[in-house]
Amino acid sequence: MSRFRTLFSYIGRLASNQNGTTAILFALSVVPLLLAGGAAIDYLRYSQAQTRIQAALDSGALAIAAAADLNSAERIAAGESTFARNIEASGIDLDDVEHDFKLSGKAVTAAAAYKLPAGLMQIAGFSHMDVTASTEIKVPDDKKAEVALVLDYSGSMGEVSGGQVKYVAMKDAAKRLISDLEVSNPHKVKFGLVPFSHHVYVTLPKAFVKDQTGTGNWTGCTQDRRYPYNLTDSTPTSVNATKWGQPQASIHVADGCAPYIANHLKVAPLTEDFDALRSQLDIMTPNAWTHIALGAEFGFHLLSPDAPFTEGAPYSSASTNKFLVILTDGRQTEPAFGPGVRNVAQGETNLEAICDNAKSAGITVLTVAFDLQDEATKARLQYCASDPDTDFLIAEDSSDIAAAFAEIMKQITAQVFISR
């Protein structure tokens, strides 16, 4: 934008100059200058519209491809519904987008066209720009997906960014992701939730919690396990270091579990009860500090076939793909256990190790930097992603988060439900 400010400043100086020669030069040069600036601005608008329409079209086609247990009319309807939700979320009027979905056997083809009103390019006689998108996909053999959503609910998620409160924008995008995959095929996907701040509020067997006795479950807030158990998905043993319920870090020792209960920030294991997940997303609100590594640790456990959570398919299952989605808007602020230490820097190191171990287990890790200003944390999230180019997503503010989750939808569905 600085280049455009310079351009308009230059035009202003020319226009104010009363010298006859300068005035003539101004008259001759102002139109091409405006056209050059207008073309750049309109091209940016065109690129944004094309990206959003393509993402919506892909999501609609993927929904059709994945819904193999529905009849043709129902599958097309699922695609139309998914396309409409994504177009409306992008800010484009659905009525202005011509689109068509076709299903032939196991192949889905789709196309869309949109006349984007021109801006400054109207000076050159262009009333609109033609934006088009198309896609073609095929349905592969039967596969399933397990998705753990590790979502930052620290206090900063209650701030406004891009005209909307961050956690509200995240909630809406996460609900849309769940709904889109549910429409695709409710029996082929499971979701789990890990809302984290500096604690995680969770229900665990008493045998896996320090200083607990007897049978049954324990529900409460915990931080990470002792090192190196906090880096893996191993099941706790009788050794206290392997268990949760470790002492709080002294930096936040006064912050108890009550806000997590009041704000409904509880871990939800993998489930096909999508209504329950959406209902929980509707009522969760932010609280306190940030322990990204702890959230990732529990996300890893949700996807693991081993206790304490056993809803996950075996890692050896060729028919199941596992996805760990980690979203944060800030840097690590809570200390974590390391080899003989407990500090914030160790939490940063632990996050990378957890991601390494999850990826080694065959889990696809997708990360989202949401209104994140800390460059070191951005780099860490990019390192965590299975593919640093396609699985690391940046949402500059709340207006971008819907597109980030649409890309997550695309990545999950492309790996599990379709082949191009």
Q: What is the CATH number of the domain that holds 306?
A: 3.40.50.410
pLDDT at 301: 99
| 148 shares its domain with 162 | yes
For residues 404 and 368, is the Cβ–Cβ distance under 8 A? yes
| 233 shares its domain with 296 | yes
pLDDT at 36: 61
Name the token pair of 30: 């102002």
| 279 shares its domain with 380 | yes
| 192 shares its domain with 316 | yes
Domain that holds residue 21: 2-138
| 188 shares its domain with 327 | yes
Rounded to whole angstroms, the Cα distance separating 295 from 156 reads 16
- In sequence order, the β-bridge partners of residue 129 are 116
The conformation of residue 2, written as its DSSP 8-state character, comes to H
| 346 shares its domain with 367 | yes
| 62 shares its domain with 176 | no
Buried b (16+ CB within 10 A) or exposed e, 319-334: ebbbbbbbbbbbbbbb
For residues 158 and 286, is the Cβ–Cβ distance under 8 A? yes
Name the token pair of 304: 């693991």
Last residue within a domain, chosen from 88, 103, 138: 138
Rounded to whole angstroms, the Cα distance separating 70 from 139 reads 13
pLDDT at 54: 92
Last residue within a domain, chosen from 138, 162, 177: 138
| 119 shares its domain with 152 | no
Rounded to whole angstroms, the Cα distance separating 294 from 384 reads 14
| 205 shares its domain with 347 | yes
Number of compact structural domains in the chain: 2
| 56 shares its domain with 132 | yes
pLDDT at 20: 53
pLDDT at 253: 58
pTM above 0.95, yes or no: no
Rounded to whole angstroms, the Cα distance separating 280 from 275 reads 9
For residues 68 and 37, is the Cβ–Cβ distance under 8 A? no
| 52 shares its domain with 120 | yes
Reported in sequence order, the residue ranges of 275-345 that DSSP labels E, i.e. its strands, are 320-328, 336-337, 342-343
| 257 shares its domain with 396 | yes
The C-alpha torsion from 233 through 234 and 238 to 244, rounded to 10°, is: -10
Rounded to whole angstroms, the Cα distance separating 325 from 319 reads 20
Residues in the chain with pLDDT < 70?
1-38, 120, 124, 139-141, 184-186, 252-255, 417-420
Last residue within a domain, chosen from 103, 121, 138: 138
